[in-house]
Amino acid sequence: LFAMAAGAMALLVAVLLLRLQVQAGVTFWIVLVVLSLGFFGVGFTRGEAGPLVGSLLLDQVLDLVLAGGGLFGAALVFWLTGSRRDAAVQATTPAGPNLGPQPIPPPEE
C-alpha cells in the first residue's frame, strides 16, 4: 500500500512538472528522486530481516544513493541546457508592447 502511494506521488509530480513545461531530462531525474525517497520511506515499514548498514537496510541506503544521483542528474541537465534555453527564449521573445508574433519585414534590395 505504501509503495503504491509512493508511485502515485511520483505520477503526480511528473504530471505537475509536465504541465509546468519543465525540461524533459529534469523531469526524469526529479521523478527518480521522488520514487527513491518514497521507497526509502517504505523501507521503514518492512518487517523482513536484511543486510544492515548502520540502522538502515541496505536497500534504503541504495535508495538514498539513487536520490542523490537523481539530484545530481537534474542539476547537471539544468546546468548544461539552461543557458541554451535562456538564449532561445530571448531570441524568440518579441520586443515592444505587442507580445504577439511580429511580421517579418521584406528583404531590402
Beta bridge partners of 70: none
Provide the pLDDT for residue 84.
55
First and final C-alpha spacing in the chain: 71
Higher pLDDT, 17 or 85: 17
Region 4-25: mean pLDDT is 92
Band of pLDDT at residue 106, cut at 50, 70 and 90 = confident
Choose from 42-51, 53-62, 77-86 the range with maximum mean pLDDT.
53-62
| One-letter identity of residue 54 | G
| One-letter identity of residue 103 | P
Region 66-84: mean pLDDT is 88
Q: CA–CA distance from 69 to each of 15, 19, 66, 93 (Å)? A: 22, 24, 5, 35
pTM (2 decimals)? 0.71
Choose from 38-47, 76-85, 94-103 the range with maximum mean pLDDT.
38-47
Q: Is it the case that residue 69 has pLDDT exceeding 90?
A: yes
